[in-house]
Amino acid sequence: MQAEVYIAKYTKAEHRLRATGNGCYPPVHEMVEPDSSGWIAPMVRRRLDRLSRIGLTLALQCLEGIERVDAVITATSYGYLAETIRFGRDVLERDERLVSPTPFMQSTFNTLGGQIAVSRQLSCYNNTHVQGVYSFALALQEAYVLLQDAEYESVLVGAFDELTPYSEAAMHSRGVGAKYGLGEGVAFFVLSTNPKDAKAQLEDVYMGCGATGVEAELVSAGSYQSECGEYGTAQAYGLVYALDHLHGSGDVRVIRASAGDTVTEIAVRGV
């Protein structure tokens, strides 16, 4: 018999609109950096880049009051673009000689997962999914599978992506963001087998051609991307959007994202 999986807590980054340099495109949805002073020590905060400060703050906020964490699973479409570009630029400008290792250490896809583990002194399972628009759905799917094992009771799942001037120009050149504007975002969720104080139940995570067939109100990409913009793991924002409208209703929502012929759908039921 499969264990039921619930969403106990969630957090997300807030957004504000910023005009683009290209008048042909809608404004960009950029993240508003939360106050991290109560969550990250000053010495640590000074060494972190913007995405890490936002991600770590929201992850720690989501874990507040959660004593047991059995796994940390993060998802990203592009990872730490700003730090990757910074490291590459330093290598070129210094003629491939000695450069600061900090941008390199902060540019790997699993950087945020490691920072969460260090901050909470966790030695549990830790994994990062990097599969474009499918990343978040696959992270949720893995968390669901882990929670079928009696050894797992609580899993932190998060998604993060950032915009840089370079990625903004590259995406605009491919026509991305023409409808809702480009975006970026961070969101975290605590998944648990304990139904107490749960916000919703995770019904299904589907990936394939066509739809799941679950009879529910569809939360299309347009429903939530009008608030957060277009980016790889925007489906995580879509889940927050659905949860905000579900709590206590008992209704089911299906959050959809797609790329080409492949569709990913996340079905959740309010409790």
pLDDT tens string 83-116: 888 888 888 888 777 777 777 777 788 999 999 9
Q: What percentage of the chain carries pLDDT values higher than 90?
A: 64
Q: What percentage of the chain carries pLDDT values higher than 70?
A: 97
pLDDT at 46 over 80: yes
Go through 172-196 and write b for each residue having 16 or more CB atoms within 10 A of its CB, e for each that does not.
beeebbeebbbbbbbbbbbbbbeee
pLDDT at 195 over 80: yes
In this predicted structure, what is the pLDDT of residue 119? 96
In this structure, what token pair is assigned to residue 47?
């060494």
This model's pTM is above 0.85: yes
pLDDT at 217 over 90: no
Q: State how far the Cα of 136 lies from the Cα of 17, in Å rounded to an integer.
A: 24
**Distances, alpha carbon 141 to alpha carbons 14, 102, 103, 155, in Å:** 25, 32, 31, 12
DSSP string computed for 147-158? TTSTT--EEEEE
Mean pLDDT of the chain: 90
- For the chain, the helix, strand and coil percentages under 3-state DSSP, each to the nearest 5: 35, 30, 40
Amino acid letter, 124 = C
- Residue spans of alpha helices (H) in the chain: 42-45, 50-63, 81-93, 102-105, 111-120, 135-146, 165-173, 221-228, 234-246
- C-beta neighbour count of 114 within 10 angstroms: 17
pLDDT at 215 over 80: no
Which pLDDT band, with edges at 50, 70 and 90, does 213 fall under? low
> Mean pLDDT: which of 98-102, 151-155, 253-257 is highest?
151-155
153-167, 199-213, 226-240, range with the lowest pLDDT: 199-213
Mean pLDDT of 169-192: 90
Collect all residues with Cβ–Cβ distance below 8 Å to 12 and sequence separation of at least 6.
Answer: 58, 185, 186, 187, 188, 236, 237, 240
In DSSP terms, 268 is beta-bridged to 202, 253
Answer with the residue of higher pLDDT: 207 or 56: 56
In this structure, what token pair is assigned to residue 123?
């030695």
In this predicted structure, what is the pLDDT of residue 207? 87
CB 158 within 8 A of CB 100: no
In this predicted structure, what is the pLDDT of residue 181? 93
pLDDT at 256 over 70: yes
Q: What is the CA radius of gyration of the chain?
A: 18
Amino acid letter, 238 = G
